[in-house]
């Protein structure tokens, strides 16, 4: 496995082994020793899977302290434009976002550290997305910011949102309880700029 830096501390993409033959495809999206080998120490407590149709957006979500969580996000089928926003006061990238294009044909997952909001928009007909989570879901600490408030250049101007996501506060109205603490950097390489593309027929 390889880790690629996003520029947001603790947020990296993991390139995982992926094999294809005449039968189809096999991918190893998580291996504890492989993650440790690239500087990501993750304990998986829960795994969620979501299926979203065309033009659906989810986010931007996170859990508040003391139940903040770390996520690893991988697209198993279809394609998504994945977003991470740094909400940690004192972080060198506080308030900034990074975008990642993930797909079922790709070999990357995104590590979303504690104190960062996460969301995505489907590209094409829809997507099946898996979330490996360190820390369990806690409804009392579940929170978010509106996905249109973080300066993200979403290619869809009117996505399909849940009622809850439509009512989330703007980033400027969110009094962040997260505080950045520096940690040793994992052995990573610079993240190349990726163009935002859509699958054929999208």
> Which one of the listed residues 61, 97, 118, 146 is annotated catalytic?
61
Q: Is 131 a catalytic residue?
A: yes
User: Is the pLDDT assigned to residue 185 strictly greater than 80?
Assistant: no
pLDDT in tens, 136-167: 999 999 999 999 999 999 999 899 999 999 99
Q: Is 61 a catalytic residue?
A: yes
> Which one of the listed residues 97, 118, 131, 146 is annotated catalytic?
131
Structural domains of the chain, with CATH: 2-173 (2.60.120.10)
Average confidence (pLDDT) over 60-84: 97
Q: What is the pTM of this model?
A: 0.86
User: Is the pLDDT assigned to residue 195 strictly greater than 90?
Assistant: no
2-41: b (≥16 Cβ within 10 Å) or e: bbbbbebbbbbbbbbeeeeeeeeeebebbeeebbeebbbe
What's the rounded Cα separation, in Å, for the pair 107 and 109? 7
Tell which wins on pLDDT, 187 or 76.
Answer: 76
């Amino acid at each position: 496995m390889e880790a690629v830096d996003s520029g947001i501390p603790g947020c990296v993409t993991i390139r995982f082994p992926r094999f294809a033959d005449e039968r189809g495809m096999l991918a190893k999206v998580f291996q504890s020793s492989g993650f440790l080998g690239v500087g990501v120490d993750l304990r998986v407590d829960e795994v969620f899977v979501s299926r979203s149709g065309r033009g659906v957006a989810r986010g931007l979500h996170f859990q508040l302290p003391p139940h903040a969580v770390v996520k690893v996000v991988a697209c198993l089928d279809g394609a998504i434009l994945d977003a991470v926003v740094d909400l940690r006061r004192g972080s060198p990238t506080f308030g900034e976002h990074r975008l990642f294009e993930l797909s079922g044909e790709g070999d990357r997952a995104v590590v979303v550290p504690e104190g960062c909001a996460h969301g995505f928009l489907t590209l094409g007909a829809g997507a099946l997305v898996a979330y490996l989570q360190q820390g369990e879901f806690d409804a009392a600490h579940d929170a978010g910011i509106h996905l249109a408030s973080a300066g993200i250049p979403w290619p869809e101007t009117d996505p399909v949102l849940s009622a809850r996501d439509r009512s989330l506060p703007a980033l400027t109205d969110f009094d962040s309880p997260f505080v950045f603490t520096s940690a040793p950097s994992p052995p990573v390489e610079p993240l190349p700029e990726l163009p935002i593309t859509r699958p054929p027929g999208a």
